[in-house]
Structure 1
Amino acid sequence: MHVLQRLFFGNYILSVALLSWLAAQICKTIINYILSGKFEAERMWGAGGMPSAHSALVCSMFMAAAKSQGVNSPIFAIAFILAAIVMYDAMGVRRETGEQAKVLNRMISDWLSEDEDAPAYLAQNGRKLKEKVGHTPFEVLSGALLGILIAVIVPAP
């Protein structure tokens, strides 16, 4: 951990947060491989999926702030509020965006297969909207617990 802390300017909070993000992304990639049977490198940096790397990052950040600065510090207050906003957004707006992408992808696919006069740009584009952008409450909770666990395990300076 000391090597990791030196990489990030000796900043304990930043080191713990980035370590938690990395752990969540690795877990997400492994879980996706187990469930789908195929390796998708995009899962290492992509949004959405189990566990939420965003939640892991912000929860480890507020726990590291609590350990190093105390719960009465302005840094802890800012980190806690940021964590609440990020997790709320992941379950709300970003999750709905993914649900809408699923519907639109299905509509476009159906349109292309049924209508010979469908706009050419739809058929030529061939790209689908990204559907994995948000999280279920369970994915957010799992990421939050992972981040908190890592922050608790990694000793403060």
Structure 2
Amino acid sequence: MNRPMMTALTTIGIAQSLKIPIHKAKTGKWDTGLLFETGGMPSSHSAGVTALATFIALERGLPSIDFALATVFGLIVMYDAQGIRRQTGELTIKVNDMDEELNRLTGLHSPQKNEDQSVKLRERLGHMPEEVLGGALLGFVTGTLGYLLTGK
């Protein structure tokens, strides 16, 4: 069994699961759909890649090529999660708002749905920096625990 990969995948599952109670604490509402959504606290992308890099650092050492690859890959994923994907989410919010405003201005807004009306785009795509950091901290903890549980 590939223990580093299992640790990373388990960490992603834990991060996704944590989004539900964190959302409940913030909003007072349960939303189990968050289990399959991107975005939110903590970043499962950051958690997974950090868990992998942490496990590899502990198993192979900081000077290893494996750790270097996992770290560079992880940094790219985290940058993308809070940078490019977040900006895409922000742009999507504006597009959805423009669609609603256009419907309001043209008088198309009515209680019944128009078949030609577009479906709202998903707005939760990326992460705030604190969500990426939260995921990275979770990944560090689970990567360390995963390594320690191997009994080496």
Q: TM-score category by the smaller chain?
A: 0.7 to 0.9
- Tell me the amino acid that sits aligned with residue 20 of structure 1: T
C-alpha contact 1:112 1:123 (8 A) present in aligned 2: no
Q: Which residue of 1 aligns with 2:19?
A: 28
**Which among 119, 128, 133 is matched to residue 141 of structure 1?**
133
- Tell me the amino acid that sits aligned with residue 8 of structure 2: A
Q: How does 1:43-82 map to 2 (within 5 A)?
A: 43-82=34-73
1:37 deviates by 2.8
Are positions 1:41 and 2:52 aligned together? no
1:76 deviates by 1.0
1:114 deviates by 1.7
- Tell me the amino acid that sits aligned with residue 84 of structure 1: L
Q: Which residue of 1 aligns with 2:95?
A: 104
Q: Which residue of 2 aligns with 1:150?
A: 142
Between 1:106-115 and 1:37-46, the stretch displaced more is 37-46
1:143 deviates by 0.4
TM-score between both structures, scaled by the size of structure 1: 0.85
Runs of 4+ in 1 over 4 A off after TM superposition: none
Report percent identity of matched pairs. 36
- Tell me the amino acid that sits aligned with residue 119 of structure 2: R
Name stretches of at least 5 consecutive residues in structure 1 with no aligned partner: 1-9
> Partners of 2:36 and 2:108 in 1: how far apart?
38
Q: Which residue of 2 aligns with 1:127?
A: 119
Name stretches of at least 5 consecutive residues in structure 2 with no aligned partner: none
- Tell me the amino acid that sits aligned with residue 98 of structure 1: G
Count of aligned pairs between the two proteins: 145
How far does the alpha carbon of each residue in 1:82-138 deviate from its partner, in whole angstroms, 9 at most, with x for none?
A: 1100000111100000100111111101111220369xxx94345211111001111
C-alpha contact 1:48 1:133 (8 A) present in aligned 2: yes
TM-score between both structures, scaled by the size of structure 2: 0.87
C-alpha contact 1:50 1:139 (8 A) present in aligned 2: yes
> Partners of 1:153 and 1:117 in 2: how far apart?
56
> Partners of 2:91 and 2:40 in 1: how far apart?
16
1:153 deviates by 2.0
Higher RCO by CA contacts (8 Å cutoff, separation 6 or greater): 2
